[in-house]
């Protein structure tokens, strides 16, 4: 297997802190491909669940909605996301994302890597 190709089915999911009904699959990061400046994961989230209000100290985050719909709040703004849309969470900004469809899949990029441990 390539050191640089990662398949979601080959990655062990984990439940992130400050989230409910969410399974994250870390695809790109130090432990998978040796990435040092960013981290990429896919989150699978159930209806009415998602990210509770929280912030990431010194870490920028991008969410790209692959499937489903979600309500997002960040920086005093509230909006509804649909597949094919992306949002940005600045470092240290309190944000939330709640799924409003049956389920959702979201591609998430952190820079620098968040490196949350499995099971936290």
Q: For 69-80, how does the pLDDT look when each residue is reduced to its tens digit (9 = 90+)?
A: 999 999 999 999
The stretch 67-96 carries a mean pLDDT of: 98
User: Domain for residue 7, yes or no?
Assistant: no
Question: Residue 84 maps to which CATH number?
Answer: 2.60.120.10
User: Domain for residue 56, yes or no?
Assistant: yes
User: Domain for residue 47, yes or no?
Assistant: yes
The total of structural domains in the chain comes to 1
User: Domain for residue 97, yes or no?
Assistant: yes
- Show the domain range for 86: 14-111
Q: Are strands 103-111 and 39-54 parallel, antiparallel or unpaired?
A: antiparallel
Is the pLDDT at 119 greater than 60? The verdict is no
- Report helix, strand and coil shares of the chain as percent, to nearest 5: 0, 50, 45
Q: Tally Cβ neighbours within 10 Å of residue 42.
A: 18
């Amino acid at each position: 297997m390539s050191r640089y190709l990662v398949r979601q089915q080959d990655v062990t999911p984990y439940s992130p802190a400050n989230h409910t009904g969410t399974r994250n699959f870390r695809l790109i990061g130090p432990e998978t491909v040796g990435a040092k400046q960013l981290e990429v994961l896919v989150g699978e989230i159930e209806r009415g669940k998602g990210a509770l209000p929280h912030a990431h100290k010194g870490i920028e985050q991008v969410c790209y909605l692959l499937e489903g719909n979600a309500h997002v709040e960040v920086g005093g703004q509230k909006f509804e996301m649909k597949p094919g849309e992306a949002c940005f969470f600045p470092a240290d900004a309190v944000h939330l994302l709640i799924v409003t469809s049956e389920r959702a899949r979201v591609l998430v990029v952190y820079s620098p890597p968040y490196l949350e441990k499995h099971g936290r």
